[in-house]
Chain A
Amino acid sequence: MGKIKVHRATPSLDMTPMVDLAFLLVTFFMLTTTFADTPVVVVDIPKSESEIILPDRDRMIITVAKDGRVFFDMDNQFNRMEMLKNMGEKYGVTFTEQELRAFAVMNEFGVPIRSLPQLLDLHPDERKTVVQNGIPSDSVNNELADWVVYARLTNPSKLRIAVKGDRETNYKVVKQVIETLINRKILRFNLITGLEAEAPKPKS
């Protein structure tokens, strides 16, 4: 009598739904994540209101850095190897099997083709420390034009060509790249942009 029974709630709690949800999210993020490769050159892309997403496959990207250096990138390892072989034949540069394989798995590059074997012989970690001076794309020596041509040969019907310029790049260099494309009868291409924020910031 008079004894108060303290109702003790069990301190354990059913966490099953939370764990279920956690695993669902883990699965989702694992499947959607694509690991961004460390870029050779950092490019601050301009904003636009376009909503077309850059496709992941069958794309060729010509990057124009802030200082006007031009870089080239294409997906699909087999196509890359074929392209490099053809380019090597044209310029009289022979690539070893190892160099071809190294080229297949690397990202964008920005060196003249004669310096390419040197770059490919380096270990991937060492490669990051090398300053790449850009692919020649002026009217005197336009290697970019040949890269574009041989890249298209490997994937003639589907390859999408995109130009990725830095916001601060001078139009002069971009014009060179665009003219190179036009001269090779590529009249339809894409400019890579980021999605515009809601309120466009005022420009000075």
Chain B
Amino acid sequence: MAEVSQNSGNEKTGKVRSKKMSTKIDMTPMVDLAFLLLTFFILTTSFNKPTIMELVMPDNTGTTQPVNKDNVLNLVLGENNKLFWFEGLGPGVNETDYSKDGVRKILLSHRQNKNLMVLIKPQDNSKYENIVDVLDEMEITAIQRYAIMEYSTDDKAIVNAAIVNR
């Protein structure tokens, strides 16, 4: 016969029996790998992406507009997370903190004044976190008019006088 016998076992019966392979394959190694990858990616993913705060500064060459001192609230950021505030040109400097019950209450109580202008005056040795906190409070209390200003010698005199008097 021209037939090529494939299997010696079939010779006896003469029947060509196609060998049935199981259609199931062992997927265990693949699943193992999948879970390994899953664990790896879960552990390496960081969901807390950094956020940003918008900050718009005034042009230092532009014209300046005088502000009525009755509408001004000064926040002086001092060293060691200290925060002083006074209205207009003082006197009457008070100390507060950056918490919800501190600066936020003061800002909210001043907010009735529609022309309120908050001047943020960070001292050189205040921390960056302080200024971010204050800017954040501006956002929370929805105060539109505020500016970061230089802590001038006049401010220094007002604050120092108040500290000495205490």
Contacts and interface: CB of A to CB of B under 8 A. Distances in A.
Interface stretch (A119-127, A136-144, A195-203): A195-203
Interface stretch (B3-11, B13-21, B64-72, B92-100): B92-100
Interface in A1-51: 15, 19, 22-23, 25-26, 29-30, 32-33, 35-36, 45-51
A159 interface: no
B20 to A, nearest CB: 20
B57 A178 contact: yes
B58 interface: yes
B59 interface: yes
A171 B77 contact: yes
A29 B136 contact: no
Contacts, number: 149
Q: Which among A15, A46, A53, A178 has the highest number of chain B CB atoms within 10 Å?
A: A46
Interface stretch (B47-55, B106-114, B153-161): B47-55
Contact of A171 (B52, B58, B100, B127): B127
Interface residues of B, number: 47
Contacts of A181: 57
B51 A51 contact: yes
Contacts of B77: 171
A53 B58 contact: no
Nearest to A173: B128
A25 B34 CA distance: 9
A25 B45 CA distance: 12
A170 interface: yes
B135 A191 contact: yes
Nearest to A23: B34
A15 B31 CA distance: 10
B131 interface: yes
A46 B31 contact: no
A98 interface: no
Given A35-B44, A172-B124, A203-B97, A50 B51 contact: yes
B127 A167 contact: yes
A58 to B, nearest CB: 13
B94 to A, nearest CB: 17
Given A29-B45, A187-B58, A191-B132, A19 B127 contact: no
B140 interface: yes
A162 B51 CA distance: 10
A182 interface: yes
A90 interface: no
B126 A171 contact: yes
Given A52-B52, A167-B129, 7 more contacts: A25-B41, A54-B50, A168-B128, A169-B127, A172-B124, A194-B50, A196-B136
Interface of A: 15, 19, 22-23, 25-26, 29-30, 32-33, 35-36, 45-54, 64, 162, 164-172, 174-175, 178, 181-183, 185, 187-196, 200, 202-204
